């Protein structure tokens, strides 16, 4: 079930888990101003002619759900885009690639035997489907971002992280309250959910909140690692030197191609 059937025409929320993931987005906002609610910094402003509210949610599903609820209820956004990094799980999903979600699932949800594993109690489903319009637009924007890599990143970053011909993938992104950083964990997840392309810690929770509010949602993630024993290596530098620029360019491009508010 999709969270919405048409793009929002009003204020749009832009969310990331880490400050480094959102830094380049904030740098593009000409009139952003900070306001703090519930210990979180929100930046209302404009981007590509659209009224937006950018925010760092913090790490994990509860932090992300709290932030999404504040965006929708306190700041009146009509929908939310989540951007940041994730660990790659699917075959051929490499460091430097991007994944746009067509579905999101909480891999650590297990209320069995009362409910099937991964099913959300009370919902009758395990997968939340993003808004089709936003997902398609974000996919097109991500493709254009990956095609302009040389203009976005320094030659050193491209060389250091081996970012040669990065690809866009669309499919299932899974979320859970642990940083998957061992080969054993990633192998287990691939066995349980063979169609999962990437794993992170927030997206499915935000998708659930947007589902509850009938608000559009979409998510794009840059692959920072393969969710294995080397997942922590140079993580912060990758986010700062690569993923932040992916996020800013993709979100800006997507907004530029959205119809202006009516």
**pLDDT tens, position by position, 7-61:** 446 899 999 999 999 999 999 999 999 999 999 999 999 999 999 999 999 999 9
User: Do β-strands 168-175 and 196-200 pair in parallel, antiparallel, or remain unpaired?
Assistant: parallel
CA-to-CA distance for 5 and 25, rounded, in angstroms? 26
- CA distance readout (Å), 198 to 25, 28, 177: 23, 27, 14
Residues of the chain above pLDDT 70, percent: 93
Report the C-alpha gap between 53 and 80 in whole angstroms.
9
DSSP 8-state code for residue 18: S
| Segment 176-206, tens digit of pLDDT | 998 887 888 889 999 999 999 999 999 999 9
Q: Nearest-5° angle of CA 89, CA 97, CA 219? A: 80
Confidence of residue 228 (pLDDT cuts 50, 70, 90): low
Catalytic annotation, residues: 21, 225
Q: Is-above-0.85 flag for pTM?
A: yes
């Amino acid at each position: 079930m999709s969270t919405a059937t048409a793009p929002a025409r009003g204020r749009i929320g832009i969310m990331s888990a880490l400050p480094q993931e959102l830094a380049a987005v904030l740098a593009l906002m000409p009139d952003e101003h900070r306001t703090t609610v519930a210990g979180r910094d929100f930046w209302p402003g404009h981007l590509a002619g659209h009224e937006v509210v950018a925010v760092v949610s913090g790490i994990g599903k509860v932090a992300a759900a709290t932030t999404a609820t504040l965006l929708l209820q306190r700041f009146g956004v009509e929908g939310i885009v989540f951007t940041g990094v994730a660990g790659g799980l699917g075959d051929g999903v490499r460091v430097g690639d991007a994944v746009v979600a067509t579905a999101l699932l909480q891999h650590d949800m297990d209320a069995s035997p009362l409910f099937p594993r991964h099913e959300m109690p009370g919902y009758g489903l395990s997968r939340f489907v993003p808004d089709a319009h936003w997902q398609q637009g974000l996919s097109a924007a991500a493709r254009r971002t990956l095609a302009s890599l040389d203009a976005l990143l320094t030659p050193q970053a491209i060389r250091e992280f081996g970012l040669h011909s990065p690809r866009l993938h669309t499919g299932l992104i899974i979320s859970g309250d642990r940083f998957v950083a061992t080969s054993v964990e990633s192998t287990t997840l691939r066995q349980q959910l063979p169609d999962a392309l990437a794993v992170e810690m927030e997206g499915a929770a935000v998708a659930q909140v947007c589902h509850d509010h009938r608000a559009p949602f979409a998510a794009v993630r840059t692959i920072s690692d393969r969710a294995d024993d080397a997942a922590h290596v140079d993580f912060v530098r990758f986010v700062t030197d690569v993923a932040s620029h992916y996020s800013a360019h993709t979100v800006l491009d997507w907004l530029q191609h959205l119809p202006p508010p009516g």
